[in-house]
């Protein structure tokens, strides 16, 4: 009676523990243990594929049979797909207690690593309270096959899979959870959904680098996959292909994958020689329309090796690997990372990758995973890097060009006349424009903190270069007329100063880390230094050329003004001279009859005046005495008055421009 009460208490405690549900973190821990310790090289657990018949031998009591049967109720819940029973008939799971043999455990497996039989024999004296723990421990040891890890997570304390002594177990909920998962018919599908975080992240990296290298969508079959076997196909080959197709149906549930004798879109040609192997494919956009794979198997090749070759080629033909621009993620044994079939190990990562790239909501899953690992900004850069590169390039050209134009129009870059303040002001404006250019050009590659580091060092570098250029140019160019060689001197000074500044900052450790970035290094190369030096030299050359043209135009305008004045003066003279001559001749004519002496004087004065005027036009300078004599002669002519006695009118002719005044 006492034994029965203890047994009921132990059973009730066990059931309460089994009823507990694992948290998401605990489930992840359990799946990690399965992945690391319960999967051999083919990544399928070693389990029974047939019904399980349990035999108890040795010092067994009736209470032990009741205890085992009660335990089996929970095992049947965990493994509903197989028949599990305690029987007197010969079984494939034998538990022996004190049967006269040394304690041992023997496991027999078939060629596919499935358990055929297990025999556990132990020499130990059990207390009544220990019998439950003992049979529970032995049943798990018989139903599973695993290796003990070197280091356990604390969450598995008390689990059968951690403790080496049955007395230490605590009927952990991990036990039946793990048992249920490894015996599930869709174990492969569940495994790819519960890979360890590091393997899952590596697989997503492989998807990103291999299948989205140059495209936004993986290149896969967008329709049902009809597989056809042609050529020398053996019965073994058909069996292996059918097994692989059944596995693929679990991995890619949204595609109808089947073997056909009619026309297929995935054809495997089995050749009788291996000298003409190859493959061909037809694609339309991101969709595979048709593929043909040539295979050759030597006559002595084992079935398992043939299956591995078919698995390798089948999985690899379901998706095209793009040329990656982001690097290569290595998963040892993964089909998509190995070049030869003999190197693969049936990695769950293969199934994970296929399941994800063939899922209907692939873009949503990839977006969610990538944003959680990196950021939304980097997701946009990854998926739309070509568009962003073009946008960045256009902005990097347009915005600095607009700013530079506005600064020119505002007169910011007027001649500095060797003013230190004006020179640095112009240099700082150019630095700001360069920073804006670099910001847009590196927008898709740099993090915010990294950008701040780059631009701070760039500003320091620019300040050093500006002041160094100022003092060198002032020393060489001020008060010197170098002519056309000035442009060459400016180019050399700018180039040398920028090189000195550049290499001085390379000695900085932080700057070396910046140079390690591929996205920043081209910005700071010598080619850009040369381009900037050429641009500055060209600007100075064009500016000097513009000034020279302006000065030449000013001279031409001054000459034209002088010519215009001379033309006006000549025109005025041409108008004055006839009137003057007309008046003078009238005066001479009037004096001819009255005063011969005055007539002679006036005629001689008029001759001298015209002689002086004609000679003056041929000379640029005259003496003061000549000018005074000319004035006296002119006045003498003008003093002459003519008295018309017949009309009784006194008229004085004065040559004053184009008009004639009369005094009555």
Name the pLDDT band for 241 (thresholds 50, 70, 90).
Answer: very high
pLDDT at position 415, please?
79
CA 522/CA 536 separation, integer angstroms? 20
Q: Are 173 and 17 in contact (CB under 8 A)?
A: yes
Q: Are 437 and 403 in contact (CB under 8 A)?
A: no
Q: Is the pLDDT of residue 449 over 60?
A: no
Q: Is the pLDDT of residue 409 over 60?
A: yes
Fold designation for 2-185: Collagenase (Catalytic Domain) (3.40.390)
Quick one: angle between helices 596-617 and 526-591, nearest 10? 170
Name the pLDDT band for 506 (thresholds 50, 70, 90).
Answer: low
pLDDT at position 445, please?
55
CA 624/CA 626 separation, integer angstroms? 5
| Residue scoring higher pLDDT (226 or 565) | 226
| Residue scoring higher pLDDT (389 or 362) | 362
Of 169-178, 200-209, 400-409, 440-449, the range with the lowest mean pLDDT is: 440-449
Of 180-184, 206-210, 487-491, 626-630, the range with the lowest mean pLDDT is: 626-630
Residue 459, CA distances (Å) to 172, 234, 463, 516, 625 in order:
63, 73, 6, 19, 73
For 659, list phi and psi in degrees, rounded to 5. Answer: -110, 160
Q: What is the pLDDT of residues 564-584, one digit of tens each?
A: 877 776 766 666 567 677 777
Among all chains, which residue has been given the structure tokens 């898709």? 444
Mean pLDDT score across all residues of the chain: 79
**Nearest alpha-carbon partner for 604 in 633, 627, 579, 635:** 633
Sign of CA dihedral 454, 456, 460, 462: positive
The residues with which 287 forms a beta bridge, in sequence order, are: 220, 284
Q: What is the pLDDT of residues 278-303, one digit of tens each?
A: 888 999 988 999 999 999 888 888 88
Of 230-239, 558-567, 633-642, the range with the lowest mean pLDDT is: 633-642
**Nearest alpha-carbon partner for 171 in 127, 143, 135:** 135
Q: Are 139 and 155 in contact (CB under 8 A)?
A: no
Name the pLDDT band for 166 (thresholds 50, 70, 90).
Answer: confident
Domain borders along the chain are: 2-185, 197-363, 384-524, 562-651
pLDDT at position 605, please?
79
Name the pLDDT band for 519 (thresholds 50, 70, 90).
Answer: very low
pLDDT at position 588, please?
76
CA 466/CA 227 separation, integer angstroms? 70
**Nearest alpha-carbon partner for 338 in 359, 294, 308:** 308
CA 177/CA 160 separation, integer angstroms? 12
pLDDT at position 514, please?
44
| Residue scoring higher pLDDT (515 or 538) | 538
* Same topology between domain 2-185 and domain 197-363: yes
Report residue 8 as tokens: 């009921």
Residue 607, CA distances (Å) to 212, 590, 613, 639 in order:
106, 18, 10, 16
DSSP conformational letter for 127: -
CA 118/CA 106 separation, integer angstroms? 6
Q: How many CA atoms are closer than 13 Å to the CA of 338, on its beta-carbon side?
A: 21
| Residue scoring higher pLDDT (100 or 24) | 24
CA 122/CA 163 separation, integer angstroms? 17
CA 35/CA 112 separation, integer angstroms? 18
The arithmetic mean of pLDDT across residues 222-229, rounded, is 94
DSSP conformational letter for 508: S
The helix (H) or strand (E) run that includes residue 533 is helix 526-591
Q: What is the pLDDT of residues 3-22, one digit of tens each?
A: 544 444 444 444 434 435 78
Q: Which residues contact 204 (CB under 8 A, 6 or more apart)?
A: 356, 366, 369, 370, 373
Q: What is the 3-state secondary structure (H, E, C) of 266-319?
A: EEEEECCCCCCCCEEEEEECCEEEEEEEEECCCCCCCHHHHHHHHHHHHHHHCE
Report residue 119 as tokens: 């025999």
Q: Is the pLDDT of residue 556 over 80?
A: yes
**For the chain, percent of residues with pLDDT exceeding 70:** 81
**Nearest alpha-carbon partner for 317 in 219, 392, 417, 457:** 219
42 exposure class (CB count in 10 Å sphere: 0-12, 13-18, 19+): middle
pLDDT at position 7, please?
47
CA 362/CA 106 separation, integer angstroms? 46
Most confident of 110-124, 347-361, 370-384, 550-564: 347-361
Q: Is the pLDDT of residue 561 over 90?
A: no
| 3-class secondary-structure state, position 230 | strand
Q: Is the pLDDT of residue 252 over 80?
A: yes
CATH of domain 197-363: 3.40.390
CA angle 455, 460, 461 (to 5 degrees): 90
The arithmetic mean of pLDDT across residues 185-194, rounded, is 84
pLDDT at position 183, please?
92
The arithmetic mean of pLDDT across residues 388-413, rounded, is 85
Q: What is the pLDDT of residues 521-530, one digit of tens each?
A: 444 456 777 8
CA 70/CA 80 separation, integer angstroms? 15
| 3-class secondary-structure state, position 219 | strand
DSSP conformational letter for 659: B
pLDDT at position 544, please?
79
């Amino acid at each position: 009676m006492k034994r029965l009460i203890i047994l009921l208490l132990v059973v009730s405690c066990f059931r309460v523990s089994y009823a507990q549900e694992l948290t998401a973190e605990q489930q992840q821990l359990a799946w990690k243990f399965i992945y690391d310790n319960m999967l051999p090289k083919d990544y399928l657990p070693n389990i029974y594929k047939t019904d399980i018949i349990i035999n108890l031998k040795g010092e067994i009591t009736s209470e032990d049979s009741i205890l085992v049967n009660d335990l089996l109720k929970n095992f049947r819940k965990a493994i509903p797909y197989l028949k599990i029973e305690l029987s007197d008939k010969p079984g494939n799971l034998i538990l022996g207690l004190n049967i006269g043999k040394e304690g041992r455990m023997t496991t027999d497996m078939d060629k596919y690593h499935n358990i055929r039989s297990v025999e556990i024999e132990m020499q130990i004296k059990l207390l009544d309270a220990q019998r439950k723990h003992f049979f529970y421990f032995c049943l798990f040891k018989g139903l599973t096959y695993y290796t003990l890890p070197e280091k356990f997570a604390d969450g598995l304390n008390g689990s059968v899979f951690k403790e080496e002594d049955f007395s230490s177990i605590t009927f952990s909920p991990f036990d039946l959870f793990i048992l249920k998962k490894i015996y599930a018919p869709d174990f492969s599908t569940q495994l790819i959904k519960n890979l360890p975080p590091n393997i899952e992240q590596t697989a997503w990296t492989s998807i990103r680098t291999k299948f989205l290298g140059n495209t936004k969508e993986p290149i896969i079959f967008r329709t049902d996959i009809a597989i056809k076997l042609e050529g020398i196909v053996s019965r073994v080959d058909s069996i292996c292909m059918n097994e692989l197709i059944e596995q693929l149906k679990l991995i890619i549930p949204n595609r109808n994958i089947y073997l056909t004798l009619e026309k297929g879109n995935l054809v495997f040609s089995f050749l009788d020689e291996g000298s003409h192997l190859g493959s061909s494919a037809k694609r339309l956009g991101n969709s595979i329309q048709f593929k043909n794979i040539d295979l050759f198997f030597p006559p002595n090749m084992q079935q398992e090796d043939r299956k591995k070759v078919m698995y390798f080629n089948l999985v690899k033909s379901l998706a095209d690997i793009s040329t990656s621009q982001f690097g290569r993620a290595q998963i040892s044994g993964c089909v998509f990372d190995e070049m030869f079939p003999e190197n693969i190990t049936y990695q769950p990562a293969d199934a994970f990758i296929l399941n994800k790239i063939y899922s209907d909501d692939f873009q949503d899953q990839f977006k969610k995973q990538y944003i959680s690992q990196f950021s939304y900004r980097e997701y946009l850069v990854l998926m739309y890097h070509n568009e962003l590169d073009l946008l960045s390039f256009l902005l990097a050209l347009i915005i600095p060009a607009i700013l530079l134009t506005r600064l020119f129009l505002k007169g910011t870059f007027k001649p500095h006349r060797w003013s230190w303040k004006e020179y640095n002001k112009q240099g700082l404006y150019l630095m700001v424009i360069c920073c804006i250019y670099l910001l847009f050009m590196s927008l898709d590659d740099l993090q915010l903190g990294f950008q701040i580091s780059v631009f701070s060092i760039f500003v320091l570098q620019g300040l050093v270069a500006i002041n160094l250029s100022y003092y060198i140019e002032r020393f060489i160019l001020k008060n010197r007329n170098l002519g056309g060689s000035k442009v060459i001197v400016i180019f050399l000074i700018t180039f040398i100063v920028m090189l000195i500044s550049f290499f001085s900052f390379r000695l900085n450790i932080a700057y070396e880390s910046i140079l390690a970035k591929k996205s920043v290094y081209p910005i700071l190369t010598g080619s850009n230094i040369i381009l900037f030096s050429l641009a500055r030299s060209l600007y100075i050359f064009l500016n000097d050329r513009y000034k020279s043209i302006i000065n030449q135009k000013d001279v031409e305008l001054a000459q034209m003004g002088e010519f215009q004045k001379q033309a006006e003066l000549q025109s005025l003279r041409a108008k004055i001279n006839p009137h003057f001559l007309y008046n003078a001749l009238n005066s001479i004519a009037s004096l001819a009859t009255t005063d011969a002496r005055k007539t002679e004087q006036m005629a001689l004065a008029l001759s001298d005046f015209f002689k002086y005027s004609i000679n003056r036009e041929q000379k640029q300078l005259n003496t003061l005495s000549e000018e005074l004599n000319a004035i006296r002669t002119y006045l003498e002519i003008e003093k002459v008055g003519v008295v018309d006695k017949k009309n009784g009118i006194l008229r004085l002719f004065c040559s004053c421009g184009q008009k004639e005044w009369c005094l009555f």
